[in-house]
Amino acid sequence: MNKNLNDIIPPSRRRTMQGTENVPSYTPPVEKEGMQMPSARPQYERPLPPRKIGRKFPVGTAIIALIVIAVSVGALVVFSGAKVTVTPSTNVSYVTGDFIATVSGGDLPFEFVTVEKTATASVASEGTETVNQPAQGTITILNKQATPQQLIKNTRFETPDGLIFRIHESVTVPAARGDVPGELAITAYADASGDTYNVGPTTFTLPGLAGGALFTQVTARSDAPMSGGFSGTRASVGQTTRDAQMAELRAALAPQIEEAIMTAAPEGYVLIGGASTVSYVTQPDGVASGGNVELSEKAVATAIVFPKTALAKAIALQVVGAYAGQPVTLTDVSGLTLTPVGDLPSPGAQEFAFSLAGNVTIEWIVEEDKIAGAVAGKTRNSAEVVLTGFPEVDSAVLVLRPFWANTFPQDPAKVTVEVKKTAP
């Protein structure tokens, strides 16, 4: 069988040769004048493979990560701390029992508080009247003696100008407490009618004590002007209008007088319902603008107040069987009613016997420094065990930061103690 050239050339070589059959042969260009010809046939170079570039270390990312870590650690340090939130123990009981309090001392002390409030109204005139009316006002009697001072009805009080005022009832002025004089507020009335006695705040001496040591020991002062002194004819209103208006003024004074008592009471004292008396004194008519009549009503209240903690302790001793004298207070006394044994005592009395009845909530007082000292330097578990031995602690929430901390700081000052307030 006849063979040609393709029959003896291997297929792979044959494809290579076939791929070059149509490639034209290179013909050098003809050099023309003014044209620079290439010196040689252009060389076709095989492109180099791409260089392998090594991966660089991500410095920027590492810096950012370090910053985040540093900020996180700093935040944990800044916001680190130890805190104990305490819910105090409480006891809700119904109390009914008898008590005896002593003025300014003893296990259950009490204090007298006297306040005044005046309300006025302008009423259209309904006629005229001729009156001779003495001025009046409140004076405060001062007693510098170590013993109470009794003063009889119609005792005279004289101003530096010689004007005489009198009291219309007998009183007992409390004794001094050290350098603090005993005080008693009472209404004094001018010895004569007319506006001459409408004097401003002033001082008084007692002419009846002149010539003795008591003359300088018992004195008085007024903190507001005397008013109402008048002699002549003025506008007036009928009795029906007067009674209706006075009823409105008294209704307006009622809430004001209780607020005034609590404002005047010493810090931490409480007023129990039934431990106060209020008397209303109609003030002399005045002349209002437009020819109207000015009607005035004054409320004078005397109250007995108790230290909240001392009263709470006295009640707890009666109604809480496991009570051992720990510091306690009262969260709400609105459910209590006080009933005096006999009449409510007047200022100057040394003892006060009374009974209490009603619902009361007693709350144990939590001392923050005591709690902080108890948990300082202890682990969370040990601190929880220690706090169970405090009768004033009903429950406690312990928080330690950062989260990996498990021991309270050795310094109690670095432990924050928060006491949850009990709603009344």
Distance CA 71, CA 64 (A): 11
Whole-number pLDDT of residue 75: 46
CA separation for the pair 25, 290 (Å, rounded): 134
The pLDDT value recorded for residue 27 is 55
CB neighbours of residue 368 within 10 Å: 15
Lowest pLDDT segment from 21-30, 63-72, 89-98: 21-30
DSSP string, 359-385: EEEEEEPP-HHHHHHHHTT-BHHHHHH
DSSP state of 275: E
| Distance in angstroms (rounded) separating the CA atoms of residues 153 and 167 | 6
Taking each helix axis as running N to C, give the angle between helix 368-375 and helix 380-387, from 0 to 180 degrees, rounded to the nearest 10: 140
Percent of the chain past pLDDT 70, that is, above it, reads 82
Q: Pairing mode, if any, of strands 351-364 and 393-401? A: unpaired
Tens-digit pLDDT profile for residues 184-208 = 989 999 999 999 999 999 999 999 9
CA dist 352 and 341 (Å) reads 8
Looking at every residue in the chain, the average pLDDT score rounds to 86
Q: What is the pTM of this model?
A: 0.68
**What's the start-to-end Cα distance of the chain, in Å?**
125
Q: What is the pLDDT of residues 56-91, one digit of tens each?
A: 667 777 677 677 666 555 544 444 579 999 999 999
Q: Dump pLDDT digits (tens) for 300-329.
A: 899 999 999 999 999 999 999 889 999 999
What does the CA dihedral 220, 110, 171, 185 come to, rounded to 10 degrees? 40
How far is CA 130 from each of CA 232, 243, 284, 300, 336, rounded to the nearest angstrom?
5, 20, 13, 29, 50
Q: How confident is the model at residue 402 (pLDDT cuts 50, 70, 90)?
A: confident
Give the pLDDT confidence of 44-53 residue by residue, as tens digits. Answer: 556 666 665 5
- 240 vs 120, 244, 396, CA distance in Å? 17, 6, 64
Provide the pLDDT for residue 78. 46
- Judged by phi (left if over 0) then psi (alpha if -120 to 50, else beta), residue 364 lies in beta
Higher pLDDT, 18 or 365: 365
Token pair 């063979």 in the structure block, residue: 3
Tokens of 154: 């119609």
Question: DSSP of 380-404, one letter per residue?
Answer: HHHHHHHHTT-TTEEEEEEEEESTT
pLDDT tens for 214-266 read 999 999 999 999 999 999 999 999 999 999 999 999 999 999 998 999 899 99
What pLDDT is stored for residue 210 in this prediction? 94
CA distance 14 to 351: 136
